[in-house]
Amino acid sequence: MPPKPLTVLGVETSCDETAAAVVRGLPPGPGEILSNVLFSQVEEHRPYGGVVPEIAARAHVEMLDGIVARALGAAGLALADVDAVAATAGPGLIGGVMVGLVTAKALALAAGKPLIGVNHLEAHALSARLALGTAFPFLLLLVSGGHCQLMAAEGVGRYRLYGATIDDAVGEAFDKTAKLLGLPYPGGPAIEALARDGASRRFEFPRPMKGREGADFSFSGLKTSVRLMAKEQAPLNATDRADLAAGFQAAVVDVLMDRTSSAMRRFRTEFGNQNRELKLVAAGGVAANYAIRSGLQAIAQEEGFSLAVPPPALCTDNGAMVAWAGLERLQSGLIDPLDTPPLARWPLQDLDKTGPNALFRY
């Protein structure tokens, strides 16, 4: 008999989105998203130009019960109908993570369902399987507000780190650059929109780490040179701002292409064989950017990889990716105890060290 599809409720509260979703399916996917409800706190944080942890945690407390009820309602299910309850257990802003995890624990306990504490980065990593059914292994470029890394994804819980940022995450660079150009938070979409009208070659910004061996990144120097250039050009008119945004984005695309091609070469030597397709997956909020997607498409073609990127709404934080990661772990028998702790820091490459999450977390 073929295995029965699983149905999982997922909760996401690690940053500034309060989200819950119900997903059904079986690995490797694609999964069926029965509901995907999201409340973005962007308006609450905008006056501060970034996420304020205390405001975020309080907003999660206020919103989460209603969001979970709506996610179940939109899926046409009761809590008794799901196979497990999953929530992001880290990494993230600890107050928010606590709110989501404790809510999931209460729901799991009340309904007698297994709990799954999901690593937020693994949820991003597996989002291409949810959306497109991408099989392991694949090269993963994870680009978000808090992370920028290249890894080989070998299986659920099995990630080999190839390189990471030595300073700012790429999303952070977008957000900080946006702020200094007077753009609203979050900066990524604002820079992307402004860059469309800009001349990317007017300002030549540095390409940190380009051409270096390995797959590490650095973005703080790039951000600084945009700041210095903006100062030199001040007062900025609309054209200056668009040209600065376009120059910055072009440098980011160039660096991501260079670092990813370097990782592709390593991935080929470690995982390539004649009858296996080489795959690059891009995930995380920054992978919603079309200039970055097309740069990655170009190097994928050059290096003989296929590119899989989830639709933008599954790249930025959402509940469906957490439900799906929970579903994949449930299918592998990886459930967690009710005393699973929330974690502010939790690197993806440590996930497989001791198998089931909870054992190694203490």
Name the nearest CA neighbour of 56 among 145, 180, 177.
Answer: 145
Decide which of ligand KG4, Zn ion, none touches 175; Cβ closer than 5 to 8 Å per partner kind.
ligand KG4
Stretch (H or E) spanning 95: helix 94-111
Interface mask (CB under 6 A) for ligand KG4, residues 239-278, using x and -?
----------------------------------------
Alpha helix (H) ranges present in 196-310? 220-233, 238-271, 290-303
Decide which of Zn ion, ligand KG4, none touches 328; Cβ closer than 5 to 8 Å per partner kind.
none
Q: ω before 137 within 30° of 0 (cis)?
A: yes
Q: By CB under 5 A, tell whether 41 contacts Zn ion.
A: no
Q: How far is the CB of 192 from ligand KG4 (least distance, A)?
A: 4
Stretch that binds ligand KG4, among 71-79, 128-136, 139-147, 158-166 (CB under 6 A): 139-147
Q: By CB under 5 A, tell whether 144 contacts Zn ion.
A: yes
58 — alpha (psi -120 to 50), left (phi > 0) or beta? alpha
- Answer for the pair 308, 281: CB distance below 8 angstroms, yes or no: yes
Q: How far is the CB of 277 from ligand KG4 (least distance, A)?
A: 26
Name the nearest CA neighbour of 92 among 159, 183, 19.
Answer: 19
Interface mask (CB under 6 A) for ligand KG4, residues 279-298, using x and -?
-----xxx-xx---------
**Both ends of the chain: CA-CA distance in Å?**
39
* Torsional sign, CA 361, 215, 143, 158: negative
Stretch that binds Zn ion, among 95-103, 106-114, 137-145, 164-172 (CB under 5 A): 137-145
Stretch that binds Zn ion, among 75-83, 107-115, 312-320, 335-343 (CB under 5 A): 312-320
Q: Which of 10, 27, 187, 198 binds ligand KG4 (CB under 6 A)?
A: 187
Residues near Zn ion (CB under 5 A), total: 2
DSSP state at residue 2: P
Structure token pair of residue 310: 């989830």
Q: By CB under 5 A, tell whether 318 contacts Zn ion.
A: no
Nearer to ligand KG4, 88 or 331 (CB): 88
DSSP characters for 163-191?
A: EEBSS--HHHHHHHHHHHTTPPSSHHHHH
Within 10 Å of residue 76's Cβ, how many Cβ atoms? 10
Reduced to 3 states (helix: H, G, I; strand: E, B; else coil), residue 27 is coil
- Answer for the pair 159, 126: CB distance below 8 angstroms, yes or no: no
Structure token pair of residue 115: 């709990």
Q: Which of 16, 317, 328, 336 binds Zn ion (CB under 5 A)?
A: 317
Structure token pair of residue 289: 């950017």
Structure token pair of residue 193: 């929109």
Nearer to ligand KG4, 258 or 317 (CB): 317
Name the nearest CA neighbour of 39 among 77, 9, 69.
Answer: 69
Q: By CB under 6 A, tell whether 206 contacts ligand KG4.
A: no
Q: Which of 168, 240, 243, 317 binds ligand KG4 (CB under 6 A)?
A: 317
Q: Which of 41, 103, 316, 331 binds ligand KG4 (CB under 6 A)?
A: 316
Q: How far is the CB of 108 from ligand KG4 (least distance, A)?
A: 24
Q: By CB under 6 A, tell whether 29 contacts ligand KG4.
A: no
Binding site for ligand KG4 (CB under 6 A): 15, 144-146, 171, 174-175, 186-189, 192, 284-286, 288-289, 316-317
Binding site for Zn ion (CB under 5 A): 144, 317
